[in-house]
Amino acid sequence: MQTGSTLNDDRTGVSALGGSGAQAPGAAGRLLPEVWMQEGAKRVEQALSRLLCAEDDGGTELMAAMRYATLQGGKRTRALLCLAAGALADSPAHMLDDVGAAIEMMHACTLVHDDLPAMDDDVLRRGLPTVHVKFGEATAILVGDALQAHAFLTLASLDAPADNRVALVRELAQAVSAEGAAGGQAMDLSLVGKHVELDRIVTMHRMKTGALVRASVRMGALCAMAEDAAHAALYRALDRYSARFGLALQVIDDILDATADHATLGKTPGKDAAAQKPTCASIMGLQAACQFVPDLLRDAGEAIAPLGPRAEGLAQILQRANGYLHKHAPCT
Ligand code: IPE
Ligand code: IPE
Ligand code: MG
Ligand code: MG
Ligand code: MG
C-alpha cells in the first residue's frame, strides 16, 4: 500500500504532502484513493472537532447538537473535493483542513434544516435520529444558524491573506444564497405534487446541491490561487467538472431514495415519492436516471482531463461516486 511517504514534493506545507498524513494526490505522485480519502476525512473531522467547541455553552445543548450534526458520519464528499482541488492548486495543507471543515459545517446546516418538519420532515440521517428528533425543533433551527456562523467564522479566521479569506467567504455565501442552496430548496418545496419538465429539476438540483459542490471545488483552489486571468482556464475546467458532478450527486441521491433500504441510506427510504417530490428518477424514469449518472461522471472527467495528473484526486472522487451508485442501486 502506498502512503504519504511515496510522495516526494519537497515544498513544505503544500497539500501534496500534508502536515499529518496523506493528502489528495497532486503534482508529486500517486496515492491510493482509499488512503487519502480516509485520512483526509479524518483530518477534516479533527478540524471540525477543534473548531466546534464552546468554553461556555450557557448550560444549553446547542454545541452538543452542532457536534452531533457534523461529527456523526457522512461521506465527506464536499470536504474531499476541497482537498483534491487544493492539491491541484498547491494550496497550503493547514488551510485546507479548516476550509474543508467549514464546508462540512455548511453542508450539515443544509441537512439539519432539510430534515425539519417544515421541510422534508425526516427522522433519520446518517443512520441516527435527525437533530430535531434528538434535540427538539427549536434547537435544530439554531444548530443550522450557528453552523452557518461558525463556517464563516472559520474562513474569516484562517491564517491567510485577507484577499483569500474574502474570496472564500464570498464563495461559500454565494453557494447557499437565494441563487444557490436556499433558492434550490425553495424551488424543491414549490414543486411538490407537480409534474414538471426535466430542465426545471436540473435547475433545482444545480441550485440546491450543485452550488455547494461547485463552491467546495473552487474553495480548494482559492486557498492558493486567485481567480484572475492567469487562472481563468483552470477555474473554467473546475466549474465544468463540478456542474456535472454536482448534478450527478443529486441524481444518485434521487435514485437511491427510490431504491435503497434504511441501512444503506441511513435515511428514510422512499421519501421523495411519499412527499410527491418530482426528482430525476421520477421524471426521467429509473433506468434513464441510472444511465444519466455515468454520462455526467464521464463529462466531469473530460472537463478535468486537460489538467493532467494533478487532477487525479478529483478523478478518483468521480470513480468513488460511480462505485457507490453501482454498489447500492439496481442500475445495470
Ligand atoms: C445528501 O448529501 C444530500 C444531498 C445534497 C444529496 P450526501 O449524500 O453527500 O450526504 P452525507 O454528507 O454523505 O451524509
Ligand atoms: C437535499 O436534497 C439537498 C440539500 C441541499 C440539503 P434531499 O432532500 O434529497 O436530501 P436528503 O435525501 O434528505 O439527504
Ligand atoms: Mg430536501
Ligand atoms: Mg431531504
Ligand atoms: Mg434525497
SS3 for 14? strand
Alpha-carbon span 48 to 46, nearest angstrom: 5
Q: What local confidence, expressed as pLDDT, does residue 22 receive?
A: 67
257, 329 contact by CB (below 8 A): no
Verify whether ligand 2 is closer than 6 Å to residue 251 (CB atom).
no
Residue of minimum CA distance from atom 5 in ligand 1: 209
Output the average pLDDT for the chain.
92
pLDDT bin (cut points 50, 70, 90) of residue 21 is: low
Q: How far is the CA of 250 from the centre of ligand 2 (A)?
A: 8
For residue 136, is it within any domain? Answer: yes
| Distance in Å, CA 245 to ligand 1 centroid | 13
- Work out the percent of the chain whose per-residue pLDDT is above 90: 87
Domains held by the chain: number: 1
Residue 28: pLDDT band with limits 50, 70, 90: low
Residue 60's domain is classified under what CATH number?
1.10.600.10
294 with 306: CB under 8 angstroms? no
Q: Domain residues for 60?
A: 33-328
Judge whether 14 lies within some domain.
Answer: no
| pLDDT value, residue 111 | 98
Q: Is residue 1 part of a domain?
A: no
**Is it the case that residue 2 has pLDDT exceeding 70?**
no
Cell of 213: 459542490
User: Does residue 12 lie in a domain region?
Assistant: no
Q: Which residue has the higher pLDDT, 241 or 30?
A: 241
Residue 310 inside a domain? The answer is yes
Q: What is the pTM of this model?
A: 0.93
Task: Answer whether residue 32 shows pLDDT above 90.
Answer: no
Round to whole Å and give the CA distance between 13 and 18.
6
Average pLDDT over residues 143-162: 98
**243-268 pLDDT, tens digit each:** 999 999 999 999 999 999 999 999 99
Give residue 27's pLDDT band: very low, low, confident or very high (50, 70, 90): low
Position with higher pLDDT, 318 vs 94: 318
What are the cell numbers at 264? 444503506
What pLDDT band is residue 18 in, cutting at 50, 70 and 90?
very low
Q: For residue 128, what is the enclosing H or E element?
A: strand 128-129
CB 185 within 8 A of CB 110: yes
Residue 12 is predicted with a pLDDT of 30
Q: Which three cell numbers stand for residue 59?
A: 448550560
Ligand 2, residues 75, 107, 111: which to mutate, most atoms within 8 A of Cβ?
A: 111
User: Does any ligand 2 atom lie closer than 6 A to the CB of residue 205?
Assistant: no
129 - beta bridge partners?
124
Nearest atom within ligand 1 for CA of residue 111 = 3
Which atom of ligand 2 is least distant from the CA of 257? Answer: 12
Q: Residue 101 above 90 pLDDT?
A: yes
Question: CA torsion 56→58→60→66, rounded to 10°?
Answer: -40
In a domain, 281, yes or no: yes
* C-alpha 317, offset from chain centre: 11
Whole-angstrom Cα distance, residue 122 to residue 271?
Answer: 8
193-208 pLDDT, tens per residue?
998 999 999 999 999 9
Q: How far is the CA of 281 from the centre of ligand 3 (A)?
A: 15
Strands 124-125 and 128-129 come out as antiparallel
Distance 287 CA to ligand 1 centre (A): 22
Q: How many CB atoms are closer than 10 A to CB 165?
A: 18
* Cα 218 from Cα 6, distance rounded (Å): 27
Is 125 a domain residue? yes
